[in-house]
Structure 1
Amino acid sequence: MRKRYAICGVSGRALGMFAKPILTLFSGSCELVGLLDPDPARFELFRERFPEQRGIATYGEAEFDRMVAETKPDVIIVAGRDDTHARYIIAALRHDLDVITEKPMVTTGKDSRSVLDAERVSKGKVTVTFNYRYAPIHTKIKEMVMEGKLGRITSIDLNWYLDTYHGSSYFKRWNRERELSGGLSIHKCTHHFDLVNWWIDQKPLEVFAYGALNYYGPEGEANPSRTDGRHCMTCDERDACDYYSRWNARSKHIRVPDDHLGSLEVGKAASFPYSGYRPDRCIFDSDIEIEDTYTATVKYDRGALLSYSVNFSLPYEGYRLAINGTKGRIETLEYHMPGRTPFPTPVQTIDYFPLFGSKETIHVVHREGGHGGGDPLLLEDLFMGESPRRPYRILSGAEDGAYSVATGEAVWRSAKENRPIEIAEVLGFKQAALAGRTGGGGNR
């Protein structure tokens, strides 16, 4: 029997990550039956990309109940703007439907609590698509921790770097509004916090952090002038903007640094495929209200301490990781997007240092596909069922999603309030009450 799916939020991610696989690779067991979005232009883009699927039913943002009644889906896929996630996750759970949601699960601890409460009384369950778990290098780290090669985990050092291409993209789009994204400590850093939570199988208790806006906004040192309301495609000062010039040629036609938008002509009003949305807002506008730099310390329930930093404007992209335990240490360095890195980059390996013994370098089989080869494996688990061959859970549930969001909220709240923030405070109940609250999750 084919499983029926409906998508809420017809984003570029929804089209490439979910609609296309359902309609092609997994079409034998999956069927796409409905699309919901506030913007009719997104339905037209879907029809252009999948012309043979023009008959799929479409619905406005307030027509969720009607969509469910008419299309009878088994699973709701939530892939729209982050602030819309909670609305459709909770609505689906009230209909006893399963949910697959993009990360972050929601944008606030309060909404995380609401999702957990809704799932607790529903027959449906929530799956959060933390695809970074699936990268082969990351599953190998998980296996090494589980095998006890490090002993009891004592501390983690994780430093994440986004280059000027990727980092600046968040400040051109809706992500720069905290109400819509929760800020980058939630929208982006949930990836990182979930990885650590999953690797060490511990739950975060308390966070202390600092944050700042160093590169973007009107005080950014690369700002050609303090002028609001500019757009990259029509800006008279784009040739004086280092961020624009680094990634765009001066020739007549360029590609906007945003996948799925295609080529747009410089000097003319940009013809974007969506209504009321432009991904080329100026990264130096004064209405930017989120941070681009964080450092944080996180305390875990079984004694581990995380030292974390993230920077959204650096010369290259990647991360440095070290995990320390009572029996040894592992280190790894990854360069993302080598094509955007202005120097040769080595293949990622893991260095293992036993507490008493010689160093061992571990080479991992690398896979093709997005997010370090993780996307294809995640899709198989989503649409074919989780592989029984793994000795650990990997699909993430609502509890995992809640912990990652709560950690991200604690980061920016700590930076704002200059005090430690307890995860239980963010989620609105005692820490002990969260464990075992939901049926989903891969950390148990």
Structure 2
Amino acid sequence: MKRIVVCGVSNRAMGMFIEPVLRYFSKENEIVALLDNDRKRCDICKGKYPELAHVPVYPPEEFEKMVDETKANTVIVTSRDDTHVDYILRGLALDLTVISEKPMVTTAADAKKVLAAEESSNGEVIVAFNYRYNAFHRKIKELILDGKIGRVTSVDLNWYIDTYHGASYFKRWNRMRKYSGGLSIHKSTHHFDLVNWWLDQKPVEVFAYGALNYYGKDGELNPGPEDNRYCGTCEEKNKCPYYMRWSNRRHVMDVKDDHIKGKNIDDSHEHYTNYRPDACIFDHEIEIEDTYVATVKYDRGAFLSYSINFSLPYEGYRLAINGTKGRIETTEYHEPSRVPFPIPEQTIDYFPLFGSKEVIHVVQNEGTHGGGDPLLQEDLFLGVDSECSYEILAGAEAGAYSIAVGEGVWRSCKENTPMRISELLKETAVKN
């Protein structure tokens, strides 16, 4: 029986971990405590899930007391990104299993600390990289393992974030590098881990360019020079195309905002203590990049050409993987309800180097992130599926390499030089 404590009672914690445990995995798992620096979050969680009414609540400084009193053996870390490292290290010091939401941590230095702590602990770290479990991504992994394209030589991955999703990162704490590590870590570690996993190669060097093109004080679509605005109270939001794209004039006077997820900020379930999800995307304090292009070199010869843009008309990605025997292509349009044109069915196109193209229609399962979340949850709470013929559940090593690439991206942008992954991780011994 897993006796679970949840550190950071965020919306992600409730939707991705707490609710599945209570609804589907309660025979094998029990949530025995909640920890957060905001008691209101815990109260909201208990109101949503009455089954947790009896569960004790602890502040961050009482982590060790919580584990001792509840006899916990598993920690789920879903707090703000920069706080992950603290709970991971404290959990490993007590030989616990630590399940961390991505990103595992926000700096390569902290990733090094986690690897060292795990090495001397009887516990382990699991990173919730749910995108590995997407049906298309698993099929691509299987095609590579089956040798369909031979030895992989290069990957082209272009990721697109639409104006609804992209703007949300700049309305919240994510827009501060000290909290999120920047979007090359908070978001792109998803993508870097995916490529690392497909290739089964280790990244060794990254070079990148990045810029803040859309958001921040110099954003071309900024309706005015004022700072410290909030969508819920802004008098200029009807002049803001980002706001109006996802709203309409009837709602402007009703202070409606889709990121608030309530009629107004006061009844929003995201309105925790000293927290608002509707800060202006054109604030002066915004310091992170919203556009990246990067090249990554791997230890067995593969190259990755990667780009991501956080302000586009639609959401999705385009992927091509080239090998000595062929090529794989696929295009995904994410969140179809937000795509303003008809979209084709996603398939995987396989092109042998000599021969006819094959179109693969992938069998999909239900659930968020392309059906990936339910499968990840099963591995987390029931144990790894013994029928899976390849490693899919991510650990600390995978988390560390994804962080190092992400940090390498933004540091390369700032310093205009290639970044060595080994130097970012300080030649940390990583388990093979």
Per the TM alignment, residue 52 of structure 1 is displaced from its structure 2 partner at its CA by 3.2
Per the TM alignment, residue 435 of structure 1 is displaced from its structure 2 partner at its CA by 4.5
Secondary structure of 2:85 counterpart: helix
Could you tell me the TM-score, scaled by structure 2's length? Answer: 0.97
Secondary structure of 2:356 counterpart: coil
Report what 2:60 is aligned to: 61
Secondary structure of 1:17 counterpart: helix
CA distance in 2, matches of 1:218, 1:118: 41
1:264 and 1:271 in contact (8 A); partners too: no
2:271 and 2:277 in contact (8 A); partners too: no
CA distance in 1, matches of 2:47, 2:218: 41
Secondary structure of 1:264 counterpart: coil
Q: Write out aligned runs for 1:81-100 (5 A).
A: 81-100=80-99
Report what 1:224 is aligned to: 223
Per the TM alignment, residue 257 of structure 1 is displaced from its structure 2 partner at its CA by 2.8
Report what 2:387 is aligned to: 389
Per the TM alignment, residue 54 of structure 1 is displaced from its structure 2 partner at its CA by 1.1
Report what 1:441 is aligned to: none
Report what 1:368 is aligned to: 366
Question: Which among 334, 337, 344 is matched to residue 336 of structure 1?
Answer: 334
Report what 1:281 is aligned to: 279
CA distance in 1, matches of 2:385, 2:144: 20
Report what 1:308 is aligned to: 306
Secondary structure of 1:434 counterpart: coil
Report what 1:326 is aligned to: 324
Report what 2:295 is aligned to: 297
2:257 and 2:264 in contact (8 A); partners too: no
Q: Quick one: which amino acid aligns to residue 138 of structure 2?
A: T
CA distance in 2, matches of 1:290, 1:278: 19
CA distance in 1, matches of 2:248, 2:64: 47
Q: Check 1:378–1:271 CA distance in 2 against 1; reply closer, same or farther (3 A cut).
A: closer
2:349 and 2:360 in contact (8 A); partners too: yes
1:107 and 1:182 in contact (8 A); partners too: yes
Report what 1:121 is aligned to: 120
Q: Write out aligned runs for 1:70-219 (5 A).
A: 70-219=69-218
Per the TM alignment, residue 3 of structure 1 is displaced from its structure 2 partner at its CA by 1.6
Report what 1:442 is aligned to: none
Report what 1:434 is aligned to: 430
CA distance in 2, matches of 1:205, 1:420: 10
Report what 1:26 is aligned to: 25
Per the TM alignment, residue 227 of structure 1 is displaced from its structure 2 partner at its CA by 1.2
Secondary structure of 2:210 counterpart: strand
CA distance in 2, matches of 1:255, 1:337: 21
Q: Quick one: which amino acid aligns to residue 76 of structure 1?
A: V
Q: Check 1:164–1:36 CA distance in 2 against 1; reply closer, same or farther (3 A cut).
A: same
CA distance in 1, matches of 2:350, 2:99: 36
2:7 and 2:77 in contact (8 A); partners too: yes
Identify the range of structure 1 (46-55 vs 113-122) with the bigger mean alpha-carbon deviation: 46-55
Per the TM alignment, residue 254 of structure 1 is displaced from its structure 2 partner at its CA by 6.6
**Between Structure 1 and Structure 2, how many residues are aligned?**
430
Per the TM alignment, residue 46 of structure 1 is displaced from its structure 2 partner at its CA by 0.7
Secondary structure of 2:6 counterpart: strand
CA distance in 2, matches of 1:295, 1:155: 15
CA distance in 2, matches of 1:376, 1:60: 30
Q: Quick one: which amino acid aligns to residue 256 of structure 1?
A: D
Per the TM alignment, residue 390 of structure 1 is displaced from its structure 2 partner at its CA by 1.1
Question: Which among 349, 352, 370 is matched to residue 351 of structure 1?
Answer: 349
2:261 and 2:269 in contact (8 A); partners too: no
Deviations 1:139-190 (A, max 9, x none): 0000000000010110000000000000110000000000000000000000
Per the TM alignment, residue 255 of structure 1 is displaced from its structure 2 partner at its CA by 5.4
Q: Does 1:244 align with 2:240?
A: no
CA distance in 2, matches of 1:26, 1:435: 31
2:206 and 2:420 in contact (8 A); partners too: yes
1:234 and 1:269 in contact (8 A); partners too: no
CA distance in 1, matches of 2:351, 2:404: 33
Q: CA RMSD in A?
A: 1.4
Secondary structure of 1:7 counterpart: strand
Where does structure 1 lack aligned partners over 5 or more consecutive residues?
A: 437-444
Report what 1:404 is aligned to: 402
CA distance in 2, matches of 1:333, 1:270: 35
CA distance in 2, matches of 1:296, 1:135: 24
CA distance in 1, matches of 2:132, 2:258: 26
1:42 and 1:273 in contact (8 A); partners too: no
Deviations 1:341-372 (A, max 9, x none): 00011111011000000111100012221111
Secondary structure of 1:287 counterpart: coil
Per the TM alignment, residue 218 of structure 1 is displaced from its structure 2 partner at its CA by 1.1
Secondary structure of 2:388 counterpart: coil
CA distance in 1, matches of 2:152, 2:268: 52
Moved >4 Å (runs of 4+): 252-255, 268-272
1:233 and 1:270 in contact (8 A); partners too: no
Could you tell me the TM-score, scaled by structure 1's length? Answer: 0.95
Q: Quick one: which amino acid aligns to residue 421 of structure 2?
A: I
Q: Check 1:31–1:128 CA distance in 2 against 1; reply closer, same or farther (3 A cut).
A: same
Q: Check 1:30–1:271 CA distance in 2 against 1; reply closer, same or farther (3 A cut).
A: closer
Report what 2:415 is aligned to: 417
CA distance in 1, matches of 2:268, 2:389: 50
Secondary structure of 1:356 counterpart: coil
